[in-house]
Structure 1
């Protein structure tokens, strides 16, 4: 054990916990109630200080936990070391290759979990393809990301998913606080840390106008950028247009953009034909989950030279005509690689929903068929109520007459 590294991790975890009052309170409740007593949990999450606070709450609730990283470039080694000293089985190290990344997931699954926590569906996918001997013991799980939910719903459509999974990503609080405000701020933070570029006056192309994409677009516009949105969904494209953003197909936007951010959950959003017409100095960043939204292989093929690390988390690709394209974070999550991910105050709500959803699964799993389930409304409301209380914010309550009015169809206008 590297004690100095562990102490640095402990300080980082302590700082995050200051901004996570809801999860801290849930940890205290879990310590008293022990809702996860006797349960083994395999988790594949970003190994950060905020995740450490979640793990602490689950452990206080009685769980035994094995943790692997959901992104090798987001792992904070000091946090991993600190969690190891707390007695958590952590299988993660910053910067590992793809083979090691999956080996770590297998080691987390060696715990033979009854519950799983996933961020991108790689752990659930591995369970269903390579560790099928463990499936009968899994009673349920939670998924944190849009990309993961897309994959899980496809598994459900093909009758492949073998246990119930709660779509934590799809709660109202998660979409608002985490996807919109968290992704918006942390993505811009990552781009600015990696490049020190001035966004004011630049053209920022945002690919995808879901909750994450609109958060990125809002933050970029707030810093003075001209924002162009690309979309495949006509309703989302219309929404972006009505909010005052320019909407273009990527083929047109590729010629105009100074900064590109992919936030779609799909692959090959920026392809070779787009890269071939971009401006000299264009910046490419991905804020979707996996490193496939920007076609890095096509970028390699177009480049005559590649200068790695021209700045931290920035690689320069020089094309045949001398134009230079700047790829951030190797095409992986820019907000977690070049920055520190969402602020702790954001993850306070997302991880509180995770913790409460796990406790709900323990109570209800015997009644649930395999498939994807929404977080119960009472869990989402409880998280919001706890957050408001921690911030000292009060809200109105319905009067008895208002309750009767809302629940009666007999009252006229």
Structure 2
């Protein structure tokens, strides 16, 4: 099948950027060397729906080193790097179906094209590929051995499919590993989201009131970094435990209906829809900035924003649209309500994605070997994989840790030893 990319001539620039990212991905690089020798994916076809970035390209290279052929579709049109797509096709031999800025029709066409390769394994970033398989391409389900999901949103959808008894093959929640959500979500999303907001607006965050919807790992990372830049941070939550955690960390906790009137910057990271709705938009101050860092563009009700507006000024800055309300107030929406860290910036630093994609690669190898023993359900990544990724990352940082003595091991595994 012929790839669908924007411009093959961008391949040289893409290779340079992929190699730059590879410099700070030592764990994935070690796994690539191991895969080259062991070939755990020999002869397997992989279909992936992921952000087409330089970091993803290094994951694709690793899967290929393990013997897999890979077809890649974009999980978000605004995050697609056309030079990376070109390099993957022209220099690394992958099939890529992704163009920056494509519309919804093009987005799903690309997913279908990736699925046409008849995958043995699938990698998903939001569950759209798996969803399409189960609804529109059921003819391909028989060959799929299993897959991985890397987002909170996608894992939520997979658990619902499993509860309803419709999931047809084992899926592994790579998102839920410690080396993914503790680092990718907290440190990666925390840094890259604020990077995207600053690039899109050139705003000074010091002294601003930043309202963060959701206090999971992503929200925690955002709150920590916004506070570090001098912002007053307000957290909105529906979970009393997470809200209490935010309060005990010194953040103000309020309902969105209260926070909406005095926030300067709003960031959604919940995985749910309509977190900022019309009732909130109506009371926001002039110049309020709206950004989403949840996976899908449903957390900010963009339709309600458009209905409230009498004018829309597109592209007042790159990835920034200004909506003028009837009373003259202006609200600035970033990246069309899509992932601001990938649309307005470059996404997570490669050093963070090193761990997430190492989890993906090792889990793919594990699935290739163990899929026949797994039920069609949502499975955890084996603890040994999570631990190995952390160990390799520490080694790449020249950090050593203690090991248990034989006596300590015995103590931890015995109930007979008293105080």
The TM-score range, normalised by the shorter chain, is: over 0.9
Q: Kindly state the Cα deviation for residue 173 of structure 1 after the two structures are TM-superposed.
A: 1.0
Q: Kindly state the Cα deviation for residue 121 of structure 1 after the two structures are TM-superposed.
A: 0.3
Q: Kindly state the Cα deviation for residue 100 of structure 1 after the two structures are TM-superposed.
A: 0.3
Partner of 2:390: 384
Q: RMSD value over aligned CA atoms?
A: 0.8
Q: Kindly state the Cα deviation for residue 4 of structure 1 after the two structures are TM-superposed.
A: 4.3
Structure 2: how far apart are the matches of 1:342 and 1:218?
16
- Is the contact between residue 98 and residue 110 of structure 2 (CA under 8 Å) also seen in structure 1? yes
Partner of 2:151: 145
Structure 1: how far apart are the matches of 2:354 and 2:160?
29
Q: Kindly state the Cα deviation for residue 68 of structure 1 after the two structures are TM-superposed.
A: 0.1
Q: Kindly state the Cα deviation for residue 256 of structure 1 after the two structures are TM-superposed.
A: 1.1
Within 5 A, what are the aligned runs for 1:87-126? 87-126=93-132
Partner of 2:61: 56
Structure 1: how far apart are the matches of 2:45 and 2:359?
19
Structure 1: how far apart are the matches of 2:345 and 2:16?
18
Structure 1: how far apart are the matches of 2:253 and 2:163?
32
Of 16, 20, 23, 1:15 maps to 20
Q: Kindly state the Cα deviation for residue 241 of structure 1 after the two structures are TM-superposed.
A: 0.5
Partner of 1:409: 415
Of 134, 144, 148, 2:140 maps to 134
1:221 aligns with 2:227: yes
Q: Kindly state the Cα deviation for residue 363 of structure 1 after the two structures are TM-superposed.
A: 1.0
Q: Kindly state the Cα deviation for residue 213 of structure 1 after the two structures are TM-superposed.
A: 0.7
Of 41, 49, 64, 1:44 maps to 49
Q: Kindly state the Cα deviation for residue 175 of structure 1 after the two structures are TM-superposed.
A: 1.3
Within 5 A, what are the aligned runs for 1:147-296? 147-296=153-302
Q: Kindly state the Cα deviation for residue 3 of structure 1 after the two structures are TM-superposed.
A: 5.9
Q: Which runs of 5+ in 2 are unaligned?
A: none
User: SS where residue 73 of structure 1 aligns?
Assistant: helix
Structure 1: how far apart are the matches of 2:363 and 2:384?
10
Residues 195-219 of structure 1: per-residue CA shift (max 9 Å, x gap) = 0000000000000000011111111
1:344 aligns with 2:350: yes
Residues 150-176 of structure 1: per-residue CA shift (max 9 Å, x gap) = 000000110011110010000111111
User: SS where residue 297 of structure 2 aligns?
Assistant: coil
User: SS where residue 256 of structure 1 aligns?
Assistant: coil
Structure 1: how far apart are the matches of 2:351 and 2:166?
36
Structure 2: how far apart are the matches of 1:78 and 1:399?
51
TM-score by length of 2: 0.98
Structure 2: how far apart are the matches of 1:342 and 1:138?
30
Structure 1: how far apart are the matches of 2:321 and 2:267?
16
Structure 2: how far apart are the matches of 1:219 and 1:189?
11
Q: Structure 1 residues 334 and 363 mapped into 2: Cα distance closer, same or farther (>3 Å)?
A: same
TM-score by length of 1: 0.99
- Is the contact between residue 243 and residue 253 of structure 2 (CA under 8 Å) also seen in structure 1? yes
Partner of 1:361: 367
Structure 2: how far apart are the matches of 1:316 and 1:184?
25
User: SS where residue 141 of structure 1 aligns?
Assistant: strand
Residues 345-388 of structure 1: per-residue CA shift (max 9 Å, x gap) = 00000000000001011111001010101100000000000000
User: SS where residue 44 of structure 1 aligns?
Assistant: strand
1:393 aligns with 2:408: no
User: SS where residue 79 of structure 2 aligns?
Assistant: coil
Q: Kindly state the Cα deviation for residue 148 of structure 1 after the two structures are TM-superposed.
A: 0.3
User: SS where residue 318 of structure 1 aligns?
Assistant: strand
- Is the contact between residue 9 and residue 86 of structure 2 (CA under 8 Å) also seen in structure 1? no
- Is the contact between residue 158 and residue 378 of structure 2 (CA under 8 Å) also seen in structure 1? yes
Residues 1-58 of structure 1: per-residue CA shift (max 9 Å, x gap) = 9564110000000100000000011001001000000110000000000000000000
Q: Kindly state the Cα deviation for residue 87 of structure 1 after the two structures are TM-superposed.
A: 1.4
User: SS where residue 261 of structure 2 aligns?
Assistant: helix
Structure 2: how far apart are the matches of 1:165 and 1:60?
23
Q: Matched residue pairs, number?
A: 413
Structure 2: how far apart are the matches of 1:377 and 1:145?
18
